[in-house]
Structure 1
Amino acid sequence: MNLSNQTWVTEFFFLGFSDDPQTQLLLFISFLIIYFVTALGNLLLIILVLADSKLHTPMYFFLCNLSVADLCFSTSIVPQALVHMLTRRKIISFMGCATQLFLFLIFGCTGCALLSVMSYDRYLAICDPMHYPLIMTKKVCVQLALGCWVSGVVVSIVDTTFTLQVPYRGENKISHFFCEAPALLALGSADTYRAEKVIFIMGVVILLAPVSLILVSYGSIIVTVVRIKTTSGRLKAFSTCGSHLLVVTIFYVSAIMTYMTPKSSKEQGKLVSVFYAVIAPMLNPLIYSLRNKEVKRALRNTITKGQICKL
């Protein structure tokens, strides 16, 4: 291929899911509802944790951080996707695409790290309750949360840098609904092996390592739960762990399929991305917190005292 006769790409065109108006409208309504629930659920959780002193515990501190990450994660993708579903020309500038990629990776990778820290927190609370207050101090919680955000920024910088270092000339149609590294690299005008290798290594750090910690933590939790004498106690613990693992499975399996599988398996990447980029941020507040009695109590108290209006 003669690259000298091709111009540098200044904008990208999203192919999206379909050109059919009815399908686009159906997708628009679905994504709008999901985003509304995502924003409402995460904002509500953040407000409740800030307003109710009884929720100032390590578990809800990490959940609050996860809600911030999820809200920003979803906002970096869905609003623009909604606009594109109502237009025929789904265009984004090169710098706009780079910005979306950078922000999307920061909040997504931070969420990955937070999920693993939350599993460790639950492991200590259930398997070693005597030492839990001594280990999960306020200082340690802040350090762990800060570490999650720093890791998200670092991975985002590395992935974005190597993705954008690939020359993009000529082809500018992205077979996706947002700017994601694998979809962008498919348009590269040069060898993308180096960038793909770096992204794979970052995937091991931010995907495989956290999911391994999660599996070990929940494995230990399950062993401890089995030893609970009361049936109601076991059922309650299994219900909680099961719902948590469901969200973790949806998020990590779809993310791993996108970032750590061969090119030949990425044709359906945009469909898989919907699970971890759109659906998971909606499920997290519903599964992790809004089903809990403590959060329901905090919601009733906050509404009664009128604290939501004051905030």
Structure 2
Amino acid sequence: MHPTNSTTPVTHFILLGFPSLGRQSRTLLCALLSLAYAATVVGNFGIVWAVLRDPRLQRLPMYILLGSFSWLEICYVTATAPRMLCDLLHPGLPISFHACFLQFYFFFSTGATECLFLAAMALDRYLAICQPLRYPVLMSPPLCWTLVASCWLVGFLWFIAPIGLISRLSFCSPDTLDHFVCDPGPLLAASCSPAHWAGQFCANMASLMLFTTISFILASYGLVLRAVLRLPSGAGRHKAFSTCTSHLVIVGLYYGSVMVNYAIPTASGTSGKVVTLFYTVGTPLLNPLIYSLRNKEMKEALRRTLLGER
């Protein structure tokens, strides 16, 4: 809460980012993050392009979901990275009130959509392994595309109400946010009107999305594990596990870091920013590496794409 005598309405914010870093450290961090951002966009776009160019992958629900997920990762990292790089190069650059909340909306909406996509990918693996005879019907390409559209729709509707409530709060000077993104914690701290209920509503919506999707993923893989262990062939078990490993690694990295910040917010200050930096830049960067290195079909599709083969 700010003093009540600071009543000038706020029309912009200043994202402090990492104020303790010197000029050289900021420049180095900016260079590293620029490389990471470029690699993230190129790597994920490579997966999208490989799926679009390969008719064999377009018929497989697993790769429809993977291509859509890779496009989502590009949107997710683009919601925060360009502005963060600008702030590292030009500290103190103001961001308008509306631009800040627009970033808030896209950051949280793409994050919610990512949770739903990870749950959809777990459903795909469950149906492929536990319901192999019905799988072509239950996950036909039209139904898979419907699932993809549903993830985008629900993800971008999920946080409209809590973000709308926070945007209606009164914000007074000083107009600084101790973060590199427009996050609910710093925004609520900058409010000069009672904000507990708005913050609690936003936290409840985030927790509901996180715990519902992770519970679904764990339940799906619990059933997958039970089915795989019943397979008589060791080679069959290895093949089944290999199709799930990449997805489980991404799930562990993403949910592990997000829950530190939002579900069990023990991280604060610089440590909280580092955790946020990891799941906003790190996991989208690792996604194409994990999927392409562990997936023979994807490696072949990427090779054909790079060489211009059909």
The reply to whether TM is greater than 0.5 is: yes
- Alignment partner of 2:13: what SS? strand
Q: What residue number does 1:165 align with?
A: 168
Alignment of 1:205-224 (within 5 A): 205-224=208-227
Q: Which AA in structure 1 matches 2:300?
A: R
Question: Does residue 6 of structure 1 match 2:20?
Answer: no
- Alignment partner of 1:49: what SS? helix
Return the match for 1:294 from 273, 297, 305: 297
Question: Does residue 186 of structure 1 match 2:165?
Answer: no
Q: What residue number does 2:139 align with?
A: 136
Query: TM-score normalized by structure 2?
Result: 0.91
- Alignment partner of 2:174: what SS? coil
Q: Which AA in structure 2 matches 1:22?
A: Q
Q: What residue number does 1:108 align with?
A: 111
CA 162–257 in structure 1, closer or farther in 2 if over 3 Å, else same: farther
Q: What residue number does 1:155 align with?
A: 158
Cα RMSD of the aligned pairs, angstroms, is 2.1
- Which structure 2 residue ranges, 5 or more long, are not aligned? none
Is the 8 Å Cα contact of residues 11 and 93 (structure 1) preserved in structure 2?
yes
Question: Does residue 75 of structure 1 match 2:64?
Answer: no
Deviation (angstroms), 1:51: 0.7
Q: Which AA in structure 2 matches 1:51?
A: R
Deviation (angstroms), 1:25: 2.2
Q: What residue number does 1:283 align with?
A: 286
Q: Which AA in structure 1 matches 2:122?
A: S
| 1:217-249 Cα deviation digits (max 9, x unpaired) | 122222223334444444454455344222212
Q: What residue number does 1:244 align with?
A: 247
Q: What residue number does 1:305 align with?
A: 308
| 1:18-52 Cα deviation digits (max 9, x unpaired) | 33123212311221121122101111011111110
Deviation (angstroms), 1:124: 0.8
Deviation (angstroms), 1:185: 1.3
| 1:64-92 Cα deviation digits (max 9, x unpaired) | 11111110110111111112111232421
Q: Distance in 2 between matches of 1:250 and 1:90?
A: 32
Q: Distance in 2 between matches of 1:88 and 1:190?
A: 28
Q: Distance in 1 between matches of 2:108 and 2:261?
A: 13
- Alignment partner of 1:3: what SS? coil
| 1:121-170 Cα deviation digits (max 9, x unpaired) | 01111122111111112232122111111111112312321221221111
Q: What residue number does 1:16 align with?
A: 17
Q: Distance in 2 between matches of 1:187 and 1:70?
A: 30
Q: Distance in 2 between matches of 1:27 and 1:166?
A: 34
- Alignment partner of 1:12: what SS? strand
| 1:101-122 Cα deviation digits (max 9, x unpaired) | 1111221111111110001101
Q: Distance in 2 between matches of 1:118 and 1:180?
A: 28
Question: Which range moved further: 233-242 or 211-220?
Answer: 233-242
Question: Does residue 226 of structure 1 match 2:229?
Answer: yes
Question: Does residue 260 of structure 1 match 2:263?
Answer: yes
Q: What residue number does 1:62 align with?
A: 65
Is the 8 Å Cα contact of residues 159 and 199 (structure 1) preserved in structure 2?
yes
Q: Distance in 2 between matches of 1:91 and 1:291?
A: 43
Deviation (angstroms), 1:2: 5.5
Is the 8 Å Cα contact of residues 291 and 298 (structure 2) preserved in structure 1?
no
Q: Which AA in structure 1 matches 2:202?
A: I
Q: What residue number does 1:48 align with?
A: 50
How many residue pairs match? The answer is 306
Q: Which AA in structure 1 matches 2:26?
A: Q
CA 37–137 in structure 1, closer or farther in 2 if over 3 Å, else same: same
Q: Distance in 2 between matches of 1:254 and 1:52?
A: 34
Question: Does residue 201 of structure 1 match 2:201?
Answer: no
Q: Distance in 2 between matches of 1:95 and 1:64?
A: 31
Query: TM-score normalized by structure 1?
Result: 0.90
Q: Which AA in structure 2 matches 1:163?
A: I
Q: Percent identity?
A: 37
Return the match for 1:36 from 30, 38, 58: 38
Deviation (angstroms), 1:197: 1.9
Q: Distance in 2 between matches of 1:64 and 1:158?
A: 29
